[in-house]
């Protein structure tokens, strides 16, 4: 019994010393980065307000995940995260028996880079970061009059998951 405990403890100690961390808590960033500048994404789509919703979620996720401060002022920090939203679409993916769409796929594409300041040395970059997730439509039946409302609901519902996905990719170096 004692040898099982020691073997388990040894395995646990080995995992800890090998650098394993809980998913979502590791960081690929250099340890001397204490402040990240994150000005609002630019919006290269025709969807008004998309940059505000997504940027707010990313800023909150950055602040909650690291041992660094986040500021909205461009150029003020040890590194800067900047990007442009280049695509936003909703694709119908399933329908009910009456042919009404019940689920859409949200797709967001962003050109984004994290650079060290000063000097603009790229730490992490993705010219076509794509986030996809399905979004259920309550009640089914979408018409032209409520399509904009559907887009807003989808953006609000998916913004946090988009931010979690993007920030994980940046901090964990994927």
Q: Are strands 79-95 and 35-37 parallel, antiparallel or unpaired?
A: parallel
d(CA 12, CA 5): 11
What is the structure's pLDDT at 100? 83
| Boundaries of domain holding 80 | 30-171
21 within a domain of the structure (yes/no): no
101 within a domain of the structure (yes/no): yes
* Structural contact between residues 60 and 95, judged by C-beta atoms closer than 8 angstroms: no
Q: Length of the chain in residues, anyone?
A: 174
* Structural contact between residues 122 and 173, judged by C-beta atoms closer than 8 angstroms: no
What is the structure's pLDDT at 88? 93
Q: What is the CATH number of the domain that holds 77?
A: 3.30.160.150
Spans in the chain with pLDDT lower than 70: 1-27, 138-148, 174
What is the structure's pLDDT at 155? 85
What is the structure's pLDDT at 25? 46
Domain count, the chain: 1
11 within a domain of the structure (yes/no): no
64 within a domain of the structure (yes/no): yes
Segment 83-110, tens digit of pLDDT: 999 999 988 999 889 888 888 898 999 9
35 within a domain of the structure (yes/no): yes
């Amino acid at each position: 019994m004692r040898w099982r405990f020691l073997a388990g403890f040894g395995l646990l100690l080995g995992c800890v010393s090998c650098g394993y961390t809980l998913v979502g808590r590791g960081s690929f960033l250099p340890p001397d980065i204490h402040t990240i500048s994150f000005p609002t994404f630019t919006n290269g789509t025709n969807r008004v307000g998309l940059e505000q919703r997504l940027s707010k979620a990313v800023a909150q996720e950055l602040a909650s995940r690291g041992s660094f401060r986040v500021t909205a002022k461009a150029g003020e920090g040890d590194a800067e995260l900047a990007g442009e939203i280049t695509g936003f679409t909703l694709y119908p993916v399933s329908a009910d028996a009456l042919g009404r769409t019940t689920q859409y796929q949200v797709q967001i594409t962003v050109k984004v880079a994290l650079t060290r300041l000063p000097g603009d040395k790229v730490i992490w970059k993705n010219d076509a970061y794509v986030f996809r997730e399905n979004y259920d439509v309550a009640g089914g039946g979408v018409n032209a009059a409520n399509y904009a409302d559907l887009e807003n609901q989808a953006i609000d519902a998916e913004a946090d998951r988009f931010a979690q996905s993007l920030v994980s990719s940046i901090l964990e170096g994927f």
